[in-house]
Structure 1
Amino acid sequence: MAHEPQPQPLDELDAAAVRTWSSLALAALGRAREDIDAINVYPVADADTGTNLYLTAESADRGLAEAFPGVTDGTAPTSLAEAVRAWAHGALVGARGNSGTILAQLLRGVADVLGDEPAARAQQAGQGPGGLLARALTRAAEEAYAAVAHPVEGTMLTVAGAAARAGEAAGAAAGTAAEVARAAYDGARAALAETPGQLAALGRAGVVDAGGCGLVVVFGALWQALSGQEPAAEPVRGRAVPVPQSPDPCAQAEDGPAYEVIYLLEASEAAVGELRERLDGLGDSLVVVGGDGLWNVHVHVDDPGAAVEAGVVAGRPYRIRITHFGDERRRARGERAQRAVVAVVPGEGLAGLCGEAGATTVLVRPGEPPAVAELLDAVRRAHAREVVLLPGGAELRAAAAAAAEQARAEGVRVAVIPTRSAVQGLAALAVHDPEGSFDEDVVAMTAAAGATRYGELAVAERQSFTSAGICQAGDVLGLIDGDVAVIGSGLAETAEAVLDRMLGSGGELVTLVLGPDVPDAVAERLEAYVQQGHLAVDTVTYRGGRYSAPLLVGVE
């Protein structure tokens, strides 16, 4: 966690004020996260709103610190515009969940006003920091409402809107920045108290909106940063009450979509407009935030693969996270799942496939292996007492082992199965038995992975020496168990040669995972080839999606 400063009255909007606001908000959300998690019943009772807000604020704070390290100690002459844009960008790339995504858009709205150099200079041209802050809060609320496909009152949007109106009134009365911040804070608190009467799920559970509660904390940090006065601690309504109170207050959530899908997306604004329409037809809780070519997409769906595929059509999705709500709803009841699987996969199609099987997935792109922190985050998101981790590549084994070690220190029992290919992970996932003992499950999954020979087809980028001879740029390389075994000129012909060698020692099931540019005709040809030469062997074919190799082959 970043160092929490001792605030002095500032009443000036500059980089130091942004840094102080960021640090105070992060510290305050850290103190309140468990209370906020405990009252989280809408839109899904997954008990993670406080955690998602905290992690989003942490990413925002880190973005500010990394972009402008001098801001942390006051030595760099960083401008207000530069600081607030870095802060908002950090929130965008690290936004978590529905609430964190909305918070990221709120900060972007603030940055759209304070990050505009001419507008920032208007402080010295007579408008004053109070009026500028009021405009920033209003823009933030407007952009947050626009980012949500179907805004609902009684949520953090309502709290943001009330805070903006109160801030505008104070700004219109020529209030100082601290006075505008205090008015926004008071307006947010009053609006939060009214949320149980605006949203039936909150009223049934006897709680205020969790996201709105977190937003009050953020506005309190703003007032503290500008005034030097610490907001009085307030009890969170409903914290001491078991949630949910009524026999079935969250039935609507239980009947809702089964998966949460989040990813960053590089795409044009026009493409994102089409993406919104497509995702709106797939699920609910749709929030798309960002701009200038970079977006954070959040949606709840029953078909995670389709949600990811919609992102592929729109642009370049990455940092894809797919979470099954079964585990999240257990968390809402104060329970951990007994066991979960975390799978590292090299394509969106595989991520959707593993997600549908109940696994928490981490998408790996060529040349960008996931760091230890990303694997540890996936283990935490699985929210289970026991976790089976499928790294999917020999080069990821060290990072997986380090993440497992850290998770064990947090009380999670973790086993890393040494999968060296995504097809071995699929084989292990196919025999996963969450009802059996942990040790037996790990042994069975390890045996299934070990009994699966894996192959891959790739295209040579340059002339080089291989274990099968010298290849030229453009040659198709057929790898078996990590070594080049075949050098060919065509994808289908090389794949047939690879299959011959892999099936030479027997096999019962062939798994083909096609890359994004491989036509269906190749799959049909290979399926027929296997059937003609090996009548007793079954074949299954999947689409790996973007970033996957041209062809992955598994033989069990």
Structure 2
Amino acid sequence: MLDTLDATAVRTWCRLALTALGQAREEIDALNVYPVPDGDTGTNLYLTVEAATEAVESAVAAGPGAPDGLGAVTAAMARGALVGARGNSGVILAQWLRGLAEGLAAGGDAATLRKALPRAADAAYQAVADPVEGTLLTVAAAAARAAADEDGTLADTARTACLAARSALRHTPEQLAVLAEAGVVDAGGRGLVAVLGALADTVLGHTPMGPVALRQEFTLPAPDPHDACEGHARQPGHPAFEVIYLLEADDAALPALRSRLSALGDSLVVGGGDGLWNVHVHVDDAGAAVEAGVEAGRPYRIGITHFAEAAARAGRGADRPETAAAGRAVLSVVSGEGLAELCAQAGSAVLPADPDRPPVSAELADAVRRCGAREVVLLLNDPELRAAAGAAADQLREEGLRIAVLPTRSPVQGLAALAVHDSSRRFDEDVVAMTSAAGATRHAELAVAEGESWTMAGVCQAGDVLGLIDGDVAVIGTDPLGTAGTVLSRMLAAGGELVTLVLGADAPDALADELVALARRQRPEVDTVVYRGGQEEALLLIGVE
């Protein structure tokens, strides 16, 4: 339990908030009926916090001279969120983070947090041209009021703010008729509860309060997001376009900009400060909205979405006709030169992964685009990438690409999927075959413990060799050979036809020979193949098919 927030705590909070939003992304998308029922609030919030998290990681990892104080790291978080904000809810959340960062610049104790949360709520309200209750703003205000009335520890303050936000979210349908009609709570408010839950978890050291505890409590029957999009496209009098851009402009230019954009449309949110702003508005005349930005300063990263076209693309979805001209590619995310070469030999494009910095959704989307194909199968080979890949896939589908994300949990499952890939089959048939091959491959790995920790197999100490089977620690040993032998024996006890061994960069030379001999003794009928993968995060990867 923390007594004060510091740079490390902010880094942990960002990571936990990203995880919470990743787990709840599809749920929040389904809740999205206001201000536009386009089913993307969860994705937009995830991308916004992903940008904030990436900015914090970059600030911390910048080396000598990198900002390590609370104020510097929270400022990096706020700027990252501002630059990467997506959609109405993302810009509001970015402004909330900016207000919080400004409040925490004075310190990270309980008293400062009690003042920072009201400042964050005020900043969010000020960013919205026409604030509406029953939204993220209402949830932020409730958390702020509760925190201001709290006189306990930092943990008390964080917990109180989160619980107040949850309570306010529960009542949002009573404040906004469109929510009551759809039978849902506010999507943006649900996202803020996840973020505040991650803050409470950071301070308390508990399981994140948002994604699991609230799923049954707040997920009510909601319209299908695709149907909602189509419904919006038919609504008379509703603006046809979403326009969003970053704007470099003097503070003095903002009043005129807000006035002009308010006259052009609705859902206007302008967040930022110090010469950099994120502008979001719904209009019928997208060109006029951009021109308003040109008159105020220098707009860039301009994004224009036509709601009707976006709905049509979403409606086509997986029913898009397949043509030979479309082309198909497979993209594998792996670390280690040997693994990358194996995937390339099997016909896959490769996105090299840094084990210390997993690729974010924008990097995954760019790698898919570089494949140059209209149909792409994405092999993640790491369960931690599922949320980022889901957000990237949503962006790519809006661009007309057909993409299937296979949530392979290990590179050995990815290799099994590649072995049955056949681009001459229909896309769906190919995806099913690859998914079946990956699912039929049990996987294990050997890793070295970095510190003392509780595991499914007991307590491990720094330097212990851990044998993980299907993601859970099953064996704790003192040497690689003995631990690997125990793991492989357990896996072979359930049968199999092929054993795949992928040696890591630090794997002992004798490891492969010992395991091949063990497999022959225990299961003479099983074939064994050995590869040098070169991965740094695991001494050994094992696959049994």
Question: Is the partner of 2:37 in helix, strand or coil?
Answer: coil
Q: 2:161 is matched with which residue?
A: 184
Query: Could you tell me how far apart the structure 1 residues matched to 2:233 and 2:67 are?
Result: 53
Given candidates 241, 247, 252, the residue that maps to 1:259 is 241
Q: 1:216 is matched with which residue?
A: 193
User: Residue 178 of structure 1 aligns to which amino acid in structure 2?
Assistant: A
Aligned pair 1:404/2:372, yes or no? Answer: yes
Q: 2:83 is matched with which residue?
A: 93
Q: Does the aligned pair in 1 maintain the 2:67–2:73 contact within 8 Å?
A: no
Are the structure 2 counterparts of residues 11 and 111 from structure 1 closer, same or farther at C-alpha, using a change threshold of 3 Å? same
Q: 2:289 is matched with which residue?
A: 307
Provide the identity percentage. 56
Q: 1:154 is matched with which residue?
A: 134
Query: Could you tell me how far apart the structure 2 residues matched to 1:258 and 1:114 are?
Result: 39
Q: Does the aligned pair in 2 maintain the 1:56–1:95 contact within 8 Å?
A: yes
Q: Does the aligned pair in 2 maintain the 1:113–1:135 contact within 8 Å?
A: yes
User: Residue 167 of structure 2 aligns to which amino acid in structure 1?
Assistant: A
User: Residue 69 of structure 1 aligns to which amino acid in structure 2?
Assistant: A
- Aligned pairs for 1:340-359 (under 5 A) are none
Query: Could you tell me how far apart the structure 1 residues matched to 2:184 and 2:317 are?
Result: 20
Q: Does the aligned pair in 1 maintain the 2:14–2:53 contact within 8 Å?
A: yes
Q: Does the aligned pair in 1 maintain the 2:250–2:297 contact within 8 Å?
A: yes
Q: 1:292 is matched with which residue?
A: 274
- Aligned pairs for 1:43-442 (under 5 A) are 43-69=35-61, 78-115=68-105, 119-120=106-107, 129-170=109-150, 173=151, 175-230=152-207, 231=209, 233-235=213-215, 237-243=218-224, 255-329=237-311, 338=320, 402=370, 404-405=372-373, 408-409=376-377
Q: Does the aligned pair in 2 maintain the 1:45–1:253 contact within 8 Å?
A: no
Q: Does the aligned pair in 2 maintain the 1:17–1:225 contact within 8 Å?
A: yes
| CA positional deviation for 1:303 | 0.8
Query: Could you tell me how far apart the structure 1 residues matched to 2:66 and 2:250 are?
Result: 34
User: Residue 253 of structure 2 aligns to which amino acid in structure 1?
Assistant: A
Number of residue pairs matched? 341
Q: Does the aligned pair in 2 maintain the 1:57–1:91 contact within 8 Å?
A: yes
Q: 1:40 is matched with which residue?
A: 32
Deviations 1:179-202 (A, max 9, x none): 111111011000000111111110
| CA positional deviation for 1:89 | 0.5
Question: Is the partner of 1:284 in helix, strand or coil?
Answer: strand
Q: 1:389 is matched with which residue?
A: none
Deviations 1:257-285 (A, max 9, x none): 11111100000011112100110111100
Question: Is the partner of 2:145 in helix, strand or coil?
Answer: helix
Q: Does the aligned pair in 2 maintain the 1:287–1:298 contact within 8 Å?
A: yes
| CA positional deviation for 1:300 | 0.5
Q: Does the aligned pair in 1 maintain the 2:183–2:221 contact within 8 Å?
A: no
Question: Is the partner of 2:376 in helix, strand or coil?
Answer: helix
| CA positional deviation for 1:13 | 1.3
| CA positional deviation for 1:332 | 7.8
User: Residue 136 of structure 1 aligns to which amino acid in structure 2?
Assistant: A
Q: 2:503 is matched with which residue?
A: none
Are the structure 2 counterparts of residues 301 and 329 from structure 1 closer, same or farther at C-alpha, using a change threshold of 3 Å? same
Query: Could you tell me how far apart the structure 2 residues matched to 1:221 and 1:407 are?
Result: 36
Query: Could you tell me how far apart the structure 1 residues matched to 2:303 and 2:141 are?
Result: 29
Query: Could you tell me how far apart the structure 1 residues matched to 2:287 and 2:318 are?
Result: 26
Q: Does the aligned pair in 2 maintain the 1:192–1:208 contact within 8 Å?
A: yes
Question: Is the partner of 2:270 in helix, strand or coil?
Answer: strand
Query: Could you tell me how far apart the structure 1 residues matched to 2:97 and 2:47 are?
Result: 14
Structure 2, gaps ≥5 residues long: 322-359, 379-392, 402-545
| CA positional deviation for 1:290 | 0.2
Are the structure 2 counterparts of residues 328 and 204 from structure 1 closer, same or farther at C-alpha, using a change threshold of 3 Å? farther
User: Residue 267 of structure 1 aligns to which amino acid in structure 2?
Assistant: A
Q: Does the aligned pair in 2 maintain the 1:36–1:210 contact within 8 Å?
A: yes
Query: Could you tell me how far apart the structure 2 residues matched to 1:63 and 1:406 are?
Result: 31
| CA positional deviation for 1:404 | 3.4
Please report the TM-score for the alignment, with normalisation by the length of structure 1: 0.56
Q: Does the aligned pair in 1 maintain the 2:286–2:304 contact within 8 Å?
A: yes
Deviations 1:41-75 (A, max 9, x none): 0000000000000000000000111122169xx99
Q: 2:342 is matched with which residue?
A: none
Are the structure 2 counterparts of residues 401 and 291 from structure 1 closer, same or farther at C-alpha, using a change threshold of 3 Å? closer
Query: Could you tell me how far apart the structure 1 residues matched to 2:319 and 2:176 are?
Result: 29
User: Residue 47 of structure 2 aligns to which amino acid in structure 1?
Assistant: L
Query: Could you tell me how far apart the structure 1 residues matched to 2:316 and 2:191 are?
Result: 20
Q: Does the aligned pair in 1 maintain the 2:233–2:311 contact within 8 Å?
A: no
Query: Could you tell me how far apart the structure 2 residues matched to 1:279 and 1:194 are?
Result: 31
Question: Is the partner of 1:16 in helix, strand or coil?
Answer: helix
Are the structure 2 counterparts of residues 99 and 70 from structure 1 closer, same or farther at C-alpha, using a change threshold of 3 Å? same
User: Residue 170 of structure 2 aligns to which amino acid in structure 1?
Assistant: A
Are the structure 2 counterparts of residues 234 and 269 from structure 1 closer, same or farther at C-alpha, using a change threshold of 3 Å? same
Question: Is the partner of 2:290 in helix, strand or coil?
Answer: helix
Query: Could you tell me how far apart the structure 1 residues matched to 2:287 and 2:310 are?
Result: 19
Query: Could you tell me how far apart the structure 2 residues matched to 1:228 and 1:76 are?
Result: 26
User: Residue 196 of structure 2 aligns to which amino acid in structure 1?
Assistant: F
Query: Could you tell me how far apart the structure 2 residues matched to 1:96 and 1:328 are?
Result: 15
Query: Could you tell me how far apart the structure 2 residues matched to 1:249 and 1:196 are?
Result: 20
Q: Does the aligned pair in 1 maintain the 2:233–2:307 contact within 8 Å?
A: no
| CA positional deviation for 1:76 | 6.8
Query: Could you tell me how far apart the structure 2 residues matched to 1:324 and 1:69 are?
Result: 39
Are the structure 2 counterparts of residues 243 and 334 from structure 1 closer, same or farther at C-alpha, using a change threshold of 3 Å? farther
| CA positional deviation for 1:219 | 0.5
Are the structure 2 counterparts of residues 375 and 234 from structure 1 closer, same or farther at C-alpha, using a change threshold of 3 Å? closer
Question: Is the partner of 1:35 in helix, strand or coil?
Answer: helix
Q: 1:428 is matched with which residue?
A: none
Q: Does the aligned pair in 2 maintain the 1:376–1:404 contact within 8 Å?
A: no
